[in-house]
Amino acid sequence: MALYIAVGFVLLWKGGDLLVDGADAFARSHGVPPTIAGVFILGFGTSMPELAVTVLAAMDGEGAIAVGNVVGSNIANVALVLGAAAVLAVVHVNRFLARIEMPVGILASALAFILILDGQVDSMDGIILLGGFLLYAGFALGTIRHRDVDSGEPPPRRPWFDLGKALLALCAVLGGAELFKTGAVQMAEAFGISRVVIGSTLVAFATSLPELATGVAAARARKVDLVVGNVIGSNIFNLLLVLGTAGLVMDQAVDPSVPQVLMPLMLSLAVFPLVISWFNKREIGRKSGIVLVVTYVSFIVYSALNAT
């Protein structure tokens, strides 16, 4: 168990560095705005662990882990990933992210909250969520020509090499997340922790490690558009694509703690970055980052106290 966790962490950390560099270089070489690169290249790529884990859990009838993983991952993405990035460097929120992706993330959170209130995620919920994803993807991709392109650095001369490096790094990140998740779940089950807590904390944290690794790497490299795009994009993918696919695969029963505790927290965290950026000249500073990280630590403590 400990070996899985240690090896997984190393793969995630180094893979995150290479993934940010490769994705950023490939996007610049093809004139792709950093916001779109963050949302679709990093956001979709780092959501692969959530998609794989959630769908497998859904097929096995583990609704508590499937739904808990999605909601817990979104909590971790904003509170831990964005919070940690803001502690390391001031995060500037691109105007298109503030106008498009952040409101869409809030709407997706509200939609998922409403659909889950009946205590399940069924095939009709899945169709609604996937339909929402297709609408968003079509609209967002249609705005590429109007978004800001970062021209501060010359485009790299080996774009396909950078794409290959990013794909290999993504494989390392996904493999690291799987190893970390396996070790964490085995450790949790050995102590008799409930399934919904495993899904919303340990599994969610493990599947959010790609976002954390890439977010911290992007913050250290001062590529902040990639940080916000990665977090918000991953949350949109998780709610609309991942949860929608899980509902379409099989009806998922939802633990009462999800609509009572987890979903309100997730929705509040979806609103928080947009409100802060409005009142702080589209910036999320260190103080806000500390608030977010403390919120996540408090969430983990609360979950641990209610683990069994």
Q: How do residues 71-86 score in pLDDT, each as one tens digit? A: 998 999 999 999 998 8
Domains, the chain, ordered by start = 2-144+158-305 (1.20.1420.30)
In this predicted structure, what is the pLDDT of residue 158? 67
According to DSSP, the residues that pair with 197 across neighbouring strands are none
In this predicted structure, what is the pLDDT of residue 111? 96
Among 89-93, 124-128, 241-245, the least confident range: 89-93
How far is 166 from 156, CA to CA, in rounded Å?
Answer: 14
Q: Report which of residues 150 and 147 the model is more confident about.
A: 147
In this predicted structure, what is the pLDDT of residue 110? 96
| Token output for 83 | 């919070």
Taking residues 156-180, what's their average pLDDT? 72
> Global pTM?
0.79
How far is 70 from 279, CA to CA, in rounded Å?
Answer: 29
Among 85-94, 159-168, 236-245, 278-287, the least confident range: 159-168
CB distance 189 to 4 below 8 Å: no
3-state secondary structure the chain: CHHHHHHHHHHHHHHHHHHHHHHHHHHHHCCCCHHHHHHHHHHHHHCHHHHHHHHHHHHCCCHHHHHHHHHHHHHHHHHHHHHHHHHHCCEECCHHHHHHHHHHHHHHHHHHHHHHCCCEECHHHHHHHHHHHHHHHHHHHHCHHHCCCCCCCCCCCCHHHHHHHHHHHHHHHHHHHHHHHHHHHHHHHHCCCCHHHHHHHHHHHHHHHHHHHHHHHHHHCCCHHHHHHHHHHHHHHHHHHHHHHHHHHCCEECCCHHHHHHHHHHHHHHHHHHHHHHHCCCEECHHHHHHHHHHHHHHHHHHHHCCC
In this predicted structure, what is the pLDDT of residue 279? 85
Rounded to the nearest 10 degrees, the angle between the axes of helix 2-29 and helix 204-220 is 50
